[in-house]
Amino acid sequence: MFICPNCSGRLNRSQNELGIFWVCPACSGRAVGLAVLRKAIAPKFINELWGAVREGNGFASRPCPSCTQRMLEVTVAPQAIALKLDVCKRCEFVWFDPGEMEAAPPKPPPAHLPGEMAEKDLPLEAREALALYKVQQIAEAARAEDPSPDEDWKTVPALFGLPVEAETNPLQHWPWLTWSLAAIIAAVSIWAFFDLENVVKQFGLIPAEAWRLHGATLFTSFFLHGGAWHLIGNLYFLLIFGDNVEDYLGRGRFLLLLVLATVAGDWFHILAAPHSLTPCIGASGGISGVIAFYALQFPRARLGFMLRYYWRYSWVQIPAWGAFALWILLQFVGAAQQVAGFSEISSMAHLGGAATGLLLWLVWRKMAAKPAPDALVREI
C-alpha cells in the first residue's frame, strides 16, 4: 500500500502507455518511478535530477510513499521556474505535487519526414501500437546510454559477480514472507555455525537415509548452510527475486512454490547418488524454483552484470530470460560433473528446483488464462 506524503491517504494505482504510477485522490499528487519518467520527461532534466540526488544536493523532506523513509528534496530548474521535487533514492520514486509534473519538460517527439503521415491521422489501433513501440525505443536508448544501475549499493554485489536488477518495478505488496524466510534461514544457519558438523550430521539430507527423522531432513536441510558465503549468496537471490515472485503469486502460492521446489531439488540430488552418505544442506533447490519462475514471468526484466579487468570495469544488461538460459546451461554442466564425482555443488538440486518453477509457471499460467464460469455465461 502506498501512502500520500501530503494527506497520509492511500494512493490509487494508475497506468497508461508509459507505465504504472500512483495518484492521490485527495490532493492529486503523483508518485512516479524513475523508469517511467525516463519515457515521458526530457533526458537532460532526468539526468540533472538524478545527478543531484546521487550527490546529495538537497535535504530530507517528506516520507516516501513506498518505504516511508525521508525523501530528498532537490531543486531543478528546467526553465525559468525552479521545481522542488522530492525523490526517494532507495525506491527510485519522484513525488510530484499538483502542477509540477506539467512544468517538467516533456520528451521531444520525433520529427516527421516530408510526405510522412502524421501520427494524429493514423487509426487508433496504429497509434496505440506506435506508442508502445516508442516506449520500447526510449527504454532501450536509456539503457544503451547508461547501462549502470541507478542505485549505488548495487555495485557491491556486482563486484562479486552477482546479478543486480537494473530496472525494478515497484511492488504492490510488502514481501513479508520473503523477508521472514530470509530472517529465519539466517538465524538458523548462524546458530548452526557454532556446532556445524554435528548439526549437519543430525539435520542434513543424506541420500542413503532420505527418510531419516521421518523425512524431516528434506526440509531441515533447507535452513542450514555450510558457511557465510553460502548463506549470503542464497539469501541474496531469495531477496532479489523472491519479492517480485511473492508480489505476483501471493503468499500462499509463493510458499507452495518454495516447498515443492525444495522437495523436487532434494529428490533430484538423491537420484544423482542414492547411496551417498554425505549430508547435503542449503536452500538453493527451493530458490532455484523462484529464479526459474521469475525469469519466465518477467522475461524482459533487465539484469545488470559488472565486467571487470583489474581496476577497469563496465556494465552490461541482459534480459532475465537470457541470464536464466545461461544459468541453466551451467547447471547441466555442473550436474554432469556432480554425477561423475568431480563437484561438491549439487547442480542436480538446482535443476530439480528450476523444473518445479517451470512446471508451476505453466500450470498457473494456464489457470489464469481460463475465463471464470460467470464470464462464460456473460459472453454467451
Distance CA(313)–CA(161), nearest Å, equals 12
Do the Cβ atoms of 38 and 138 come closer than 8 Å?
yes
pTM of the model: 0.63
Q: Distances in Å between the alpha carbon of 297 and those of 91, 292, 352?
A: 22, 9, 18
Distance CA(339)–CA(347), nearest Å, equals 9
pLDDT in tens, 85-127: 899 888 888 998 888 888 888 887 665 545 455 555 666 666 6
Which overall architecture, per CATH, does domain 152-369 show? Answer: Up-down Bundle (1.20)
User: pLDDT band at residue 324, thresholds of 50, 70 and 90?
Assistant: very high
CA-based nearest residue to 319, from 350, 294, 284: 294
Domain boundaries, the chain: 12-103, 152-369
Q: Which three cell numbers stand for residue 281?
A: 544442506
What proportion of the chain, given as a percentage, has pLDDT over 70?
83
Top pLDDT among 39 and 81 is at 39
Which residues have C-beta within 8 Å of that of residue 57, sequence separation ≥ 6?
74
Q: DSSP of 267-297, one letter per residue? A: HHHHHHSTT--S-B--SHHHHHHHHHHHHHH
Distance CA(339)–CA(374), nearest Å, equals 52
Distance CA(373)–CA(363), nearest Å, equals 19
Top pLDDT among 367 and 239 is at 239
Lowest mean pLDDT among 80-94, 139-153, 201-215, 349-363: 139-153
Distance CA(52)–CA(196), nearest Å, equals 48
SS3 151: coil
Q: Residue 67: how many CA atoms within 13 Å on its side-chain side?
A: 12
User: pLDDT band at residue 377, thresholds of 50, 70 and 90?
Assistant: very low
Instruction: Assign residue 146 a region (left: φ > 0; alpha: ψ between -120 and 50; beta: otherwise).
Output: beta
User: pLDDT band at residue 372, thresholds of 50, 70 and 90?
Assistant: very low
What proportion of the chain, given as a percentage, has pLDDT over 90?
40
pLDDT in tens, 48-77: 888 888 888 888 888 998 888 888 998 887
Mean pLDDT value across the chain: 84
* pLDDT value at residue 373: 47
